[in-house]
Amino acid sequence: MRPRLPYPRAGAGHTLLEFTIAVALGLVVIAGAVTAYRSQRQAFAYAIDASRIHEAGVNALTLIGEQIQMAGFIAADDPSTLSGPPIFGCTAGRPTGTVASLTCEALSNRSDGVAVRYRGDADSTWLATNGQVTDCLGQAVGASPAEVLNRFHAKASSSTGEPELYCEGTGKLGTAQPLVEGVERLRLRYWTVGAAQAVDATVLSRERWEAVVAVDLCVLVRGASFGRRVRYVDCDGASQTASDGRVRQAFWRHVVLRNVLEAQP
């Protein structure tokens, strides 16, 4: 009599080898998904930072450029004259001093500064709620027409430590307020009548500011820190390496002083 063979057990479990392979494959899939998620998240963060840098650069160029274009403006029916030059700049410093006699105060970040002067009225500025002419911060200056002097510079905020574009207007002398966050440095060069090239503010004597007809404006904007070494081109056209892990981008604009140019012989 032959021995009876045992029947296979129903629902037999997987072997240890099969279980190990399944776990390994699962870990590979999870690791791939996590890596893809991190890459996508990082790429998204880079894109957001690049968008913020571009927005800050364009806004800063627009704000300062529009003011420079206004330099020297006096309405045709306004018999008054300006108390100083239409434009005045500082190399590695910001314009300070009285409205009629501007001087330069050095900045630790080596950023340039510029002051723009014109006669404001209902057409050249937004009027305040009381009907007065306003400065770069929307502060009331005086009844129309009134002389406006707006001073721009860039420096780190005393509260956040982040670089910002500041403006000090005639409406509240001695008090500058931030306009655009991320602007680390301003760089300005000036074209005078008949000049072959633009020059720094230090080259111009006090009486030569009346001869300025155009400005080469550059703003350097700093982004968020991602802990990586980044190369960029600064406002002087030189290639630099950022050791603090922050992306930087320079934005340029050539601005003509329309009112001053028309007044030149």
Residue 30 lies in a domain: no
Residue 34 lies in a domain: no
Number of domains present in the structure of the chain: 1
Query: Per-residue confidence of the chain (265 residues) as pLDDT tens digits?
Result: 555 555 555 555 568 777 788 778 877 888 777 777 677 777 777 889 899 999 999 999 999 999 999 999 999 899 999 999 999 999 999 999 999 899 999 999 999 999 999 999 988 888 999 999 999 999 999 999 999 999 999 999 988 999 999 999 999 999 999 999 999 999 999 999 999 999 999 999 989 999 999 999 999 999 988 877 889 999 999 999 988 889 999 999 999 998 876 555 5
Query: 145: cis peptide before it, omega within 30°?
Result: yes
Other beta carbons less than 10 A from residue 223's beta carbon: 23
Residue 190 lies in a domain: yes
Residue 55 lies in a domain: yes
Within its chain, how far is the Cα of 99 from the centroid?
26
Residue 135 lies in a domain: yes
- Residue 227 lies in domain: 42-263
Residue 47 lies in a domain: yes
Residue 5 lies in a domain: no
